[in-house]
């Protein structure tokens, strides 16, 4: 039985991760960190670009730099340019950074 509030020891598989990411974006929305807000402006990306990347992209890697697993989603902007999003999942979808 899974204990309430316990964090996973292992990452989700890429398939499960992208399914959860898409469901959280659709049902709960995205939490933007202060860092990602700066990167959106610097890299000339929009919330529509992020949504497009998460909806059509794929998880290409994961890491655990702190207590939560991070997943890197590689996809494209609404204009078809390559981009990536790094997210954490904690009952919410937390956008950590974006890259072109």
pLDDT, tens digit, 9 for 90 and up, residues 40-82: 999 999 999 999 999 999 999 999 999 999 999 999 999 999 9
Domain presence at residue 8: no
Residue 5 lies inside a defined structural domain of this protein:
no
Reference 18, options 70, 65, 57; nearest CA is 57
Cα–Cα distances in Å, from 84 out to 8, 39, 72, 78?
Answer: 24, 12, 7, 13
Rounded to an integer, what distance in angstroms lies between the CA atom of residue 69 and that of residue 9? 9
pTM for the structure as a whole: 0.90
Pair type for strands 93-99 and 30-32: parallel
- Residue 63: give the domain boundaries: 14-99
Q: In total, how many domains does the chain have?
A: 1
DSSP conformational letter for 78: T
Does residue 51 lie within any of the structural domains?
Answer: yes
Residue 99 near residue 38 (C-beta atoms within 8 A): no
């Amino acid at each position: 039985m899974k204990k309430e509030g316990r964090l996973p020891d292992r990452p989700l598989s890429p398939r499960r991760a992208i399914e959860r990411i898409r469901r959280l974006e659709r049902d709960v929305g995205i939490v933007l960190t202060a860092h990602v807000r700066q990167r959106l402006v610097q890299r000339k990306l929009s919330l529509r670009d992020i949504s497009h990347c998460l909806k059509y992209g794929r998880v290409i890697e994961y890491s655990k730099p702190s207590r939560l697993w991070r997943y890197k989603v590689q996809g494209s902007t609404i204009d078809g340019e390559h981009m990536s999003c790094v997210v954490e999942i904690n009952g919410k979808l937390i956008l950590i950074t974006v890259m072109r």
